[in-house]
Structure 1
Amino acid sequence: MEPRLDFLTNPVSAGFLKHLVSAGRTLVDSPLPATTRELVALRASQINGCGFCVDMHTKESARAGETAVRLNLLATWREATVYTEAERAALELAEQGTRIADPAGGVTDEAWADAAKHYDEDQLAALVSTIAAINAFNRLNVLTRKPGGDYEPGQFG
């Protein structure tokens, strides 16, 4: 499958991407644990079928010390015993925030309350921002058919 547009070299899209990447980088210094941030980004990317982001966040998670077992079980996190209650709450929020057009109608009050039990307001703000950012990246890559497989850890900072 050939990419439809080189988002990095087109002047219009490259300018947009520069700002989106900058927004994403602000989350690196947020109080949300890096492992949670990477798991959420990876899970949303799996749901959205974004090969580039699945590749990127699998490799970045491993680089940050995530285990192969946890990475391999992520698509079935509800049935796995390797995630904390806080991570489960973040993953549920990420799934509902990614599937906003589903019949349930977006994020339930229950999912929000569960996340709020585990994360303070600043962490919730970072979690919501992470979910929004990864969904934007996923859509750009899926629309333009950016392939996965060639990402090198640390490529974007």
Structure 2
Amino acid sequence: MEPRLNLSGSPVAVKVMKHLISASRVIADSTVPLTTRVVTAWREATVFTEAERAALELAEQGTRIADAAGGVPDEVWANAAKHYDEDQLAALVSLVAVINAFNRVNVVVQQPAGDYQPGQFG
């Protein structure tokens, strides 16, 4: 599949990607554990702590807000808040937003996965 848009060739896209990458760096500097920020298939896996599961459910619900009226249920937020302080919750919410932004850009322009080169956007 060929991408619809050359993200590294568009001055606007390069600027947006630089900001998203900067946002990612701020989140990386947060106190949310790295293991909580890089996971897949969490429901099926047995290796996650209750805190990690709470963060993953928050991320999943925050990603799927279009699927359910009302957004993230109160019980999902309350469960995450039992395990993370306000700064960590802010980092988790920001991480969900940044990952979703990257994913949506790539889906819209049909960017093949794995083509990113480190440093490509500054």
Indicate whether the TM-score tops 0.5.
yes
**2:66 counterpart (87, 93, 101):** 101
The within-5 A match list for 1:11-22 is 11-22=11-22
**2:97 counterpart (112, 132, 140):** 132
Aligned counterparts of 2:46 and 2:12: Cα–Cα separation in 1: 45
**1:117 counterpart (82, 86, 94):** 82
For the residue of structure 2 that corresponds to 1:22, the secondary structure is: helix
- Alignment CA distance shift 1:138-1:26 (3 Å): same
Aligned counterparts of 1:2 and 1:150: Cα–Cα separation in 2: 11
Is 1:26 the equivalent of 2:26? Answer: yes
Q: How high is the TM-score relative to the length of structure 2?
A: 0.89
Structure 2 unmatched runs, 5+: none
Structure 1 unmatched runs, 5+: 40-73
The 4+ residue runs of structure 1 with deviation greater than 3 A are 149-152
Q: How high is the TM-score relative to the length of structure 1?
A: 0.70
Number of matched pairs: 120
**Pairwise CA distance, 1:150:** 4.4
Greater percentage in helix: 1
Instruction: Calculate the aligned-residue CA RMSD, in Å.
Output: 1.7
For the residue of structure 2 that corresponds to 1:17, the secondary structure is: helix
Aligned counterparts of 2:29 and 2:13: Cα–Cα separation in 1: 26
- Identity over aligned residues, as a percent? 68
Aligned counterparts of 1:19 and 1:151: Cα–Cα separation in 2: 16
**Pairwise CA distance, 1:151:** 5.1
